[in-house]
Amino acid sequence: MSEGSRGSSLAFGQVVIGPPGSGKTTYCQAMSAFLGRLGRSVAVVNLDPANEALPCPCALDIAELVTLPDVMASLGLGPNGGLIYCMEYLEANADWLRDRLQALRGHYVLFDCPGQVELYTHHQALKNVFAQLAKWNFRLAAVHLVDSHYCTDPGKFISVLCTSLSTMLHVELPHVNVLSKMDLIEQYGKLAFNLDYYTEVLDLSYLVDHLASDPFFRNFRRLNEKLVEVIEDYSLVSFVPLNVQDKQSMRQVMQAVDKANGYSFGDQEHRSLEALMSAAVGADFHFSSTLAVQEKYVQSQDKAVEEEVMDL
């Protein structure tokens, strides 16, 4: 049977990528449950050979093919080199992946990917795996998770913007950048600007000026200006805020991804979505949802200030 005929029907899904600790596995678990409540048949595929403690069963696990501890022990590699070897091994055994995915036809697939950044910025193995999935008629969007606490540090946020841009250019998939763990952002300090400044990546010259107030970063002003110019010249990076415990936030991310990978839901799912949300949502949902997250953040900051005043 030819490769094209074996995967003749379209399948939709997401490849969930991002640095370690950004919440990829938690996102897959939450999005799977959310989409399941809408009536989608969802399958989670674990492509992270270092992910040994999965919080929920997966429809397909790369551990059946290769595991990071085995590679490290047999080849004497460290964690980073071992993980790269695992991805190259997966690429070389693409037939194994294709055969296992045949059983998941008709499902919306969430691919939980490793957290090693270089796999998405310059290494070719995982990019080639994604290209193979496209040949097998998978219509995928890359969901790039970034921990929202980076917004509280202007220097780190510029680094995140550069990494996100590099990832978008390298992976070559429809792309949705997500600021994860928005429910925890107040634990890391006060934002220098409103939340929409970070999600929409507005005029970054203000961020450079803010950095210049720090004696350490003042010496690197020209470097930061050039980095900001690169980001703004491409004009590709923006973020969707995510709190996996909030239904409206999950809906916002779902709609952004559905638009990116071309998935269009039917009447039954539409009715399920309306029942789940149990409230009418205006057309300008992205702005209103971001505003709601911003209001929650401001309220938490105001409450903290009030408690400090009371303590005095």
Q: How far from 48 is each of 63, 114, 218, 278, CA to CA, in Å?
A: 8, 4, 40, 36
The answer to whether residue 79 is domain-embedded is yes
The arrangement of strands across the sheet holding 138-147 comes to 60-61, 42-46, 108-112, 11-17, 138-147, 175-180, 240-241
Reported confidence tier of residue 283, pLDDT bands at 50, 70, 90: very low
Range of the domain at 261: 11-201+237-303
Regarding whether 212 and 73 lie in a shared domain, the answer is no
Q: Is the pTM of this model over 0.85?
A: no
Q: What is the pLDDT of residues 44-102, one digit of tens each?
A: 999 999 987 777 789 999 999 999 999 999 999 999 999 999 999 999 999 999 999 99
Of the candidates 198, 207, 203, the one whose C-alpha atom is nearest the C-alpha of residue 239 is 198
pLDDT above 60 (res 149): yes
Interacting residues of 309 by C-beta distance below 8 A, sequence separation 6+: none
Regarding whether 173 and 227 lie in a shared domain, the answer is no
* Burial (CB count <10 Å: 0-12, 13-18, 19+), residue 160: buried
Q: What is the pLDDT of residues 168-187, one digit of tens each?
A: 999 999 999 999 999 888 78
**CA 47, chain centre distance (Å):** 15
Regarding whether 227 and 116 lie in a shared domain, the answer is no
Regarding whether 268 and 231 lie in a shared domain, the answer is no
Q: What is the H or E stretch that residue 154 is in?
A: helix 154-171
CA distance 254 to 250: 6
CA distance 123 to 71: 19
Regarding whether 176 and 292 lie in a shared domain, the answer is yes
134 near 262, Cβ under 8 Å?
no
Reported confidence tier of residue 220, pLDDT bands at 50, 70, 90: confident
The answer to whether residue 311 is domain-embedded is no
Q: How far from 70 is each of 37, 78, 126, 191, CA to CA, in Å?
A: 37, 11, 20, 43
Regarding whether 149 and 60 lie in a shared domain, the answer is yes
Among 218, 236, 254, the domain-final residue is 236
Could you give the 3-state DSSP secondary structure of residue 82? helix
Of the candidates 152, 76, 136, the one whose C-alpha atom is nearest the C-alpha of residue 102 is 136
pLDDT above 90 (res 35): yes
Regarding whether 111 and 231 lie in a shared domain, the answer is no
The answer to whether residue 2 is domain-embedded is no
Give me the number of domains the chain comprises. Answer: 2
